Structure formats: structure tokens, C-alpha cells
């Protein structure tokens, strides 16, 4: 519990994409702010902030619920938007840069949390529709539950690795996991 409280005082939240690996989530909780900034995309997010706000405003005008806070596993996460069309609801995440695996993992985690089976990644250059079946969402749910379980582990070596997601992990140098 001590580690979680210390983390909250630093940043106040766990990033949903870190739930794909117990160790990745643990690092996010147990890093100094200096280490955290070194691996986070905070600066890039700052640069994309204006565009992000504009897109959020457009989504809101289109009837979407924006910056929706969802609770899962005792933590609060914020989805950029939840929208609806003739096929039903879909989760929206606004991104900058090129598409990468982390973006897909993040939106799928939100799909798992909300139970919504469609997602839309919005980039400055276009859209990507993301779908996930029940098996994939169930697999993510199990990993995320495990990650939360280990957030408060005292020692790094006690936390198991999940090498499936190492390739795009910002902590891979520190972790030293064997990349698949
Ligand atoms: S490098 Fe792999 S095992 Fe290590 S924290 Fe990242 S995802 Fe987990």
C-alpha cells in the first residue's frame, strides 16, 4: 500500500497500457519521477495537447461522451471518448505520430474495461478501426488483473514478466526481459 500511495502523490494515476504486464505496471508505480519522465511520452503528449483538445471538442459536438472516467480493479482510467453510431458504441483514443502496438493495446484495454467491442484510433493523418474478440479481451483481463495484484510488491525480482508485450515496452532496458 505504501508504494501505491507514494505513486499517487507523484502522478495520481496508473496508465492503462501498463496493465499488460505485472512488471510494467509495477515499474510505473515504483519509479522516481525522474526515471518516469525518461520513459514516458509526457513531452510528446504535451506537444499534441492542442490538437487533442480540438478533436475532443469535435467529438463532443458530435454527441460523444468525452474524457470518460472508468473504474476498474480499484483504479480510475480516462477514455478519450465513447461514441455511438448505427452499429452501437465504440471507444475512441486520440493519438499522435505513427500507429504502434502500444496504441492498439491501450484501446483494447479500454474495450476490455468498458465491455465495448469496437475501437477507433484517431491520428492527425487518419483513422484506424480496432476490433477485438472475446478471447483476446479475456486474455487482457487476466493479465491486467495480475498486474494490479503485483503493484504493491516490495521487490522488483518478485514481480513476474510477461514477455508478449516487451517489444514496445518503455521499460525494456531496465527490465532486461528477453524479447520474443
Ligand atoms: S520489458 Fe516485457 S517483461 Fe519487462 S516490463 Fe516490459 S513488458 Fe514487462
CATH code of the domain containing 14: 3.90.320.10
* Residue 26 Cα to ligand 1 middle (Å): 10
Residue 58 included in any domain: yes
- 46 occurs within a structural domain: yes
Q: Within a domain: residue 126?
A: yes
> How many CB atoms within 10 Å of residue 8?
12
Residue given cell 468525452 in the structure block: 66
Over the stretch 19-35, which tens digit does the pLDDT of each residue have? Answer: 999 999 888 888 766 67
**What is the separation of C-alpha 8 from the centre of its chain, rounded to a whole number of angstroms?**
17
Closest residue to atom 1 of ligand 1, CA basis? 172
pLDDT tens figures, 111-165? 999 999 999 999 989 999 999 999 999 999 999 999 989 988 889 999 999 888 8
> What residue owns the CA closest to ligand 1's atom 3?
161
Structural domain count of the chain: 1
Beta carbon of 171 within 6 Å of any ligand 1 atom: yes
Question: Would you say residue 106 lies in a domain?
Answer: yes
| pLDDT computed for residue 10 by the predictor | 45
Positive or negative, the CA dihedral 82, 29, 5, 12 is negative
Q: What is the mean pLDDT of residues 104-117?
A: 95
33-86 pLDDT, tens digit each: 667 666 665 444 444 566 788 899 999 999 999 999 898 888 888 899 999 999
Residue 79 forms part of a structural domain: yes
Question: Which atom of ligand 1 lies nearest, measured to the CA of 161?
Answer: 3
- Provide the pLDDT for residue 50: 67
Q: Pick the closest to residue 165 from 5, 91, 146 (CA basis).
A: 146
Domain boundaries, position 122: 2-175
pLDDT of residue 7: 45
Whether residue 25 is contained in a domain is answered as: yes
State the pLDDT at residue 64: 96
Contact 28 CB / ligand 1 (< 6 Å)? no
Instruction: Indicate if ligand 1 lies below 6 Å from the C-beta of 26.
Output: no
Q: Which of 105, 157, 175 to mutate to test the pocket of ligand 1 (most atoms within 8 A of CB)?
A: 175
Q: Identify whether 180 is part of a domain.
A: no
Would you state the pLDDT for residue 43? 45
Contact 41, 177 (CB under 8 A): no
- Is residue 19 in a domain? yes
Amino acid at each position: 500500500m505504501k508504494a501505491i500511495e507514494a505513486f499517487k502523490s507523484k502522478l495520481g494515476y496508473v496508465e492503462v497500457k501498463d496493465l499488460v504486464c505485472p512488471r510494467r505496471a509495477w515499474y510505473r508505480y515504483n519509479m522516481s519521477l525522474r526515471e518516469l519522465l525518461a520513459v514516458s511520452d509526457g513531452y510528446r503528449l504535451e506537444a499534441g495537447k492542442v490538437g487533442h483538445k480540438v478533436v475532443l471538442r469535435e467529438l463532443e459536438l458530435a454527441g460523444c461522451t468525452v474524457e470518460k472516467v472508468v473504474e476498474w480493479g480499484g483504479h480510475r482510467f480516462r477514455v478519450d471518448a465513447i461514441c455511438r453510431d448505427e452499429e452501437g458504441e465504440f471507444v475512441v483514443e486520440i493519438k499522435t505520430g505513427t500507429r504502434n502496438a502500444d496504441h492498439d493495446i491501450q484501446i483494447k484495454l479500454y474495450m476490455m474495461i468498458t465491455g465495448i467491442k469496437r475501437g477507433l484510433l484517431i491520428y492527425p493523418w487518419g483513422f484506424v478501426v480496432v476490433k477485438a474478440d472475446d478471447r483476446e479481451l479475456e486474455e487482457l483481463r487476466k493479465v491486467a488483473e495480475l498486474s494490479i495484484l503485483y503493484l504493491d510488491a516490495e521487490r522488483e525480482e518478485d514481480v513476474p514478466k510477461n514477455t508478449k508485450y516487451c517489444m514496445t515496452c518503455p521499460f525494456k532496458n531496465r527490465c532486461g526481459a528477453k524479447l520474443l
